[in-house]
């Protein structure tokens, strides 16, 4: 991988660089709800059933697209995908040509910094397998700010 590859345009990243850009926060594995009146998007603490809340990562990342039809490869999507990513997401930040934050593991040099900064969802989720869909609204969280339009 190139030195400071994360400062290069997203489109120029190799596959390895692209994967290394992820901060490991796990926020994109949470269910979101959208207000029918004003389209506002809210995060819940309900995670995909393949999400490991202790390791804060997908249990089967290489096969995730086959295992979970709703899971998306960010790179394979149109630009609208960035609207749906959390405001802190490294891909969203770089899409906006903004720098990575100090807690990003690529900047801090430590994988744990994303957890210590309170950005990751480690130990803070429930599995979708344990929540009825009618109860999703009760799981809205405010520690991930509602998304602002790009």
Binding site for ligand SF4 (CB under 6 A): 22-29, 48, 50-51, 58, 64, 67-68, 71, 85-86, 89-91
Closer to ligand SF4 by Cβ: residue 38 or 70: 70
Closest approach of Cβ 36 to ligand SF4, in Å? 24
> Closer CB to ligand SF4, residue 40 or residue 65?
65
Minimum CB separation from ligand SF4 for residue 12, in Å? 18
Residue with tokens 């059933």: 49
CB of 3: closest distance to ligand SF4 in angstroms? 21
Residue placing its CB nearer to ligand SF4 in the complex, 12 or 63: 63
> Comparing C-alpha atoms, which of 7, 12, 1, 2 is closest to residue 104?
7
Choice between 91 and 103, CB closer to ligand SF4: 91
């Amino acid at each position: 991988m190139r030195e400071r590859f994360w400062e290069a345009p997203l489109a120029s990243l190799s596959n390895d660089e692209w994967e290394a850009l992820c901060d490991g926060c796990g926020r994109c594995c949470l269910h979101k709800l959208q207000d029918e009146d004003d389209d506002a998007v809210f995060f819940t603490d309900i995670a995909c059933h393949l999400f490991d809340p202790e390791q804060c990562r997908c249990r089967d990342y290489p096969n995730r697209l086959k295992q979970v039809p709703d899971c998306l490869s960010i790179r394979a999507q149109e630009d609208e995908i960035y609207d749906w990513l959390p405001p802190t997401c490294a891909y969203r930040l770089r899409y906006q040509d903004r720098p990575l934050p100090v807690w990003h593991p690529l900047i801090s040099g430590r994988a744990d910094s994303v957890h210590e900064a309170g950005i990751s969802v480690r130990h803070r989720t429930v599995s979708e397998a344990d929540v009825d869909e009618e109860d999703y609204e009760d799981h809205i969280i405010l520690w991930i700010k509602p998304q602002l339009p790009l």
